[in-house]
Amino acid sequence: MARYDSYGNLDDRIGEDLDQGFVGFNNRLRPDQLRPGNLAESNNGRMDLNGEWQPRKGIEVFSSPFSPGVFTLPFNLYDTSIPAVSSYTRAGEIITVNFGSAHGITNSTGVNISGLTPGGTEDPNGNFIVTVIDSDTFTYTVTSLSDDPTGTMVVSGMKLDATAGNFIEASCEFSDPNNSSESYVACVGTNSTVLVKIADSGNTTVTLTYPTGETVPEGSTITQAFNKLYIFRKGQIAMEWAGDITSPAFSLVANGTYVQPTPIPITDLDFSGGIATATSASTSSLLVGDILTVTDAGSSGYSVGEVVRVNAITSFTTFTFATNKADATNKNATVEKVGSLGLGFSHMPAPEFGTYHQRRLVVPYQYDITGSSGSATITDRNIVDEALFSDILDSNTYDRIYGQFRFNAGTADHIVGFHSFSDDKLVVFNRNSIHIVANSLDLGSSISQVITNEVGCLARDSIQQIGNNMIFLSDNGVYGLDFMDLYNLRGQDVPLSSSIEGTIKRINKAYAHNAKSVYFDNRYYLAVPLDSSTTNNALIIYNFINKQWESIDSIDSSDWEYSELTVAGEGDKRGVYVINRNGGVHEYESRVDDQDRYIVQVGGTITANQIKSSALTRMFNLNSIDRKKWNNFDVHLQSSENNVSNADLQAITENIDGIIDLGSVSDLNGSDLAIDEDVSLRGRFGNKRAYGLQFKLTTTKGRPRLRALKVAGAMTFKSLNKAE
């Protein structure tokens, strides 16, 4: 804005303050303490290297993998205190039910009828909506009923089919081991798992069934290891799928009391070119990598006690291993899988989760499995700080001597999660401490040590390794471990989230253990429940390029939740996919406009809402604590490359407190910003008097880019009276 070329002694000199770009937001400090380039708030925004703040891209429904299995009806649930039925009669399709006392049932609500024997093909038992005649009589209708039922009728509360609904309880990326270009999002439903193919834009799905009678409860997890998918159900037998699309069915993992290995007679052993081909009755008990001990040398030339390692399983009856024997044919021997000492082996102990590490599966050891396979007994050990390592390349075999580790025994602590790190180190996150297990390739010589007892992990799925940092959510915010010299780990003394302490304090700690996270495009996405929410209703995003927290993302719906996050896909389809437990799979930041399209109910319709984006600047005070007379502003904006844009502009003053409506971009420009148009807009504050001033931009159309902002004012308040 125009200023005087010269000033007299009585003139108020105009001062200016400027932000030429934006790198992050900070709500720990007061707005007037922030440095140039820091925002006080950033909602649904992004800040890249060019310093522009811009609303994020919209989300798009990628797939709705499950159909609704149950409808919500407006009925009351009545318990078994309903009095006994005194009599019932049929007139056509209507059955009249009489009670000896008041039934207490409300008209047009549901009841469950049982105990009747149908007189014909139509069943009078089940859930029905009733018509109340009086306090001790109601009727219900059975379509096409033509015969009188018999038996003693029982009326109780309406029964819900718990297996009918299908909600997404867990998810992960599944990469087809036989095709590197095939990537799926595995959606673990209550009653089946659906693989959503990324390359086909969600149009191709594969349904994986569960064994009869098996369901997946809320809180379950899934992971891919050994080219298989494993569903972990705390206190229940885990399920596995071999990864073969042509055989789309999960099965229960091996369970029951572990049976020690039996001898394997090799009836034909041929040596050729350093490879031994062994023929036995069956190779079903073997896995690639198994170590076999020679128990009967036969004619093989081996000595009893020598060991060999299975290289490949070539058929149902043959396997191979490396040998130093001269070429020969028709030899024989007897071998046996290496057994365990002491307590012996165990099957997978019904864990809550598992992590793949150094060709082993590591799980919490909270339960013992005994009994026979298919009818195993699961016993809670009441120990929550022990981990169990599987054998190499064998998810069914766990050594309870060498493969068992306990952390912080004798303290109130429990295992929250694991993370596999390089140089054969497994990081163990406890609730109140962090440990490391080194040299797990040889469990007999493995060691564990404490990294820190000062901080622990609050949410297992918040753990991410990013460059030389391992980040996780703790009681004190988002903390990190640094990899210092020679891959040693050291805990950070200051939380990474210290600059957004205002947001961290809003996290609902009672449900923070459900937090989810992913790392993609140099950003750490952390889904958390804010304020009174019991589900993850916000995404907090850290930009590793800017080294700043970038945005608090949300969806404009009280029914939305960030239930699961995963990174999946190849090429331009690789990105962050958000799963809503009650809806489906959504591709995050995939739209180029300002619309979010999402599903919040299984089998429901798509909802479209405009993204609510806003940026609130630091408080400008012209580097003085004196009151000012705020005069004018100059804001540089540019529309997105794909949309016309508009936004509302406000100024927020402090001491004296107030809000100045500056109008909209279209008001100042004369029209909406055209596609990719840049503009410098100037306006006045009206000489409002205040100590400090913040500038707020709230988008109303498109995705405008906020590039720079200048404000001007004069120190003019010289009275000794207070300003409020």
Residue 471: what pLDDT?
A: 92
Distance (Å, whole) CA 604 – CA 71: 11
3-class SS at 573? helix
Distance (Å, whole) CA 425 – CA 404: 15
* Beta partners for residue 318, in sequence order: 279
pTM for the whole thing? 0.78
Distance (Å, whole) CA 632 – CA 712: 5
Each residue of 4-61: pLDDT tens digit?
Answer: 555 555 556 788 999 999 999 999 999 999 999 999 999 999 998 789 999 999 999 9
Determine contact, residues 369/376, Cβ cutoff 8 Å.
yes
Determine contact, residues 11/715, Cβ cutoff 8 Å.
no
Residue 575 CB-half CA count within 13 A = 19
Burial of 651 (0-12, 13-18, 19+ CB in 10 A): buried
Distance (Å, whole) CA 223 – CA 430: 20
Each residue of 612-646: pLDDT tens digit?
Answer: 999 999 999 999 888 889 999 999 999 999 999 99
Q: What is the token pair recorded at 713? A: 């004012």
Determine contact, residues 245/176, Cβ cutoff 8 Å.
yes
3-class SS at 161? coil
Distance (Å, whole) CA 655 – CA 677: 37
Burial of 73 (0-12, 13-18, 19+ CB in 10 A): exposed
3-class SS at 89? strand
Q: What is the token pair recorded at 113? A: 């009828």
Residue 343: what pLDDT?
A: 55
User: CATH: 2.40.30.20, 3.30.420.40, 2.40.10.220, 3.30.43.10. Which one for 264-337?
Assistant: 2.40.30.20
Q: What are phi and psi of 443, to 5 degrees?
A: -60, -25
Residue 404: what pLDDT?
A: 87
Residue 213: what pLDDT?
A: 85
Distance (Å, whole) CA 201 – CA 401: 48
Same fold across 14-56+613-715 and 85-157: no
Residues 6+ apart with CB under 8 A from 476: 455, 495
Q: What is the token pair recorded at 287? A: 């896995």
Distance (Å, whole) CA 553 – CA 564: 15
Tell me how far CA of residue 381 lies from CA of 235, 654, 659, in angstroms. Answer: 11, 60, 61
Distance (Å, whole) CA 140 – CA 111: 9
User: CATH: 2.40.30, 1.20.1260, 1.10.3470, 1.20.120. Which one for 85-157?
Assistant: 2.40.30
Mean pLDDT by 10 residues, the chain (724 residues): 54 83 95 95 91 95 76 48 90 94 86 89 88 94 90 80 68 80 88 90 88 90 92 95 90 85 88 94 79 91 91 91 94 81 74 93 93 85 92 84 79 89 87 89 83 89 88 91 61 84 95 96 96 96 95 94 93 92 91 93 85 96 90 95 95 94 94 95 92 96 96 75 55
Determine contact, residues 595/700, Cβ cutoff 8 Å.
no
DSSP category for residue 669 = H
Which letter, b or e, does each residue of 348-381 get, where b requires 16 or more Cβ atoms within 10 Å of its Cβ?
bbbbbbbbbbeebbbbbbbbbbeeeeeebebeee
Q: What is the token pair recorded at 12? A: 């108020």
Could you please state the CATH topology (level 3) that the domain comprising 14-56+613-715 is classified under.
Answer: Jelly Rolls (2.60.120)
Q: Could you check whether the bond before residue 656 is cis, i.e. omega within 30 degrees of 0? A: yes
Q: What is the token pair recorded at 63? A: 């797939």
DSSP category for residue 444 = G
Tell me how far CA of residue 84 lies from CA of 91, 136, 142, 259, in angstroms. Answer: 21, 11, 21, 53
Distance (Å, whole) CA 337 – CA 310: 10
Ordered by start, the domain boundaries in the chain are 14-56+613-715, 85-157, 264-337
Task: Classify the C-alpha dihedral 38-43-47-51 as positive or negative.
Answer: negative
Residue 537: what pLDDT?
A: 96
Tell me how far CA of residue 105 lies from CA of 72, 76, 121, in angstroms. Answer: 19, 9, 28
Strands (E), 492-557: 516-520, 523-528, 538-543, 548-553
Q: What is the token pair recorded at 552? A: 């608090």
Distance (Å, whole) CA 511 – CA 477: 14
Residue 484: what pLDDT?
A: 62
Burial of 578 (0-12, 13-18, 19+ CB in 10 A): buried
Q: What is the token pair recorded at 690? A: 């205040």
DSSP annotation string for 315-364 = SSSEEEEE--SPSEEEEEEEEEE---STT-EE-----S--EEETTEEEEE
* Beta partners for residue 448, in sequence order: 437
Each residue of 654-713: pLDDT tens digit?
Answer: 999 999 999 999 999 999 999 999 999 999 999 899 999 999 999 999 999 999 999 999
* Beta partners for residue 43, in sequence order: 552, 614
Distance (Å, whole) CA 318 – CA 165: 45
Burial of 440 (0-12, 13-18, 19+ CB in 10 A): buried
Q: Which of 651, 591, 533 is nearest to 17 (CA)?
A: 651
Determine contact, residues 545/21, Cβ cutoff 8 Å.
no
Q: What is the token pair recorded at 313? A: 């399983």
